[in-house]
């Protein structure tokens, strides 16, 4: 599958990953939010980079994001992600 267009925020996230030469192959990525403009396209693009992607939303909660090597929060909710939700390293 392909995206008919890549939304700017999703493209910017991937551009940063590429700029810093971050290898996501086999790494765990968590995307919080499932909007068609940020969450879903970002998850799709991260999978194309080889990441194992888990998605979270208001129905699933965010339990489990702390195991992710990369965390993208696109939920539009302030203070959703706390220090304890972020993996050390």
Give the C-alpha separation, 34 to 28, whole Å: 17
Distance CA 52, CA 37 (A): 20
> In this predicted model, what pLDDT tens digit does every residue of 23-64 receive, in sequence order?
999 999 999 999 999 999 999 999 999 999 999 998 999 999
pTM of the model: 0.91
CA 56/CA 39 separation, integer angstroms: 9
Number of other CB atoms surrounding residue 4 within 10 Å: 4
| pLDDT > 70 in the chain, percent | 99
Two tokens, residue 32:
């919080």
Q: Which domains does the chain have, with CATH numbers?
A: 8-77 (3.40.50.720)
C-alpha distances out from residue 80 to 16, 28, 38, Å: 23, 20, 16
């Amino acid at each position: 599958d392909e995206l008919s267009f890549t939304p700017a925020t999703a493209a910017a996230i991937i551009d940063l990953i590429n700029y810093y030469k971050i290898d996501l192959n086999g790494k765990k990525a968590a995307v919080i939010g499932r909007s068609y403009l940020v969450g879903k396209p970002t998850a799709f693009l991260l999978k194309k980079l080889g990441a194992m992607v888990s998605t979270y939303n208001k129905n699933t909660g965010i339990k489990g994001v702390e195991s992710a090597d990369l965390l993208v929060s696109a939920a539009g909710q302030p203070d959703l992600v706390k220090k304890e939700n972020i993996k050390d390293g």
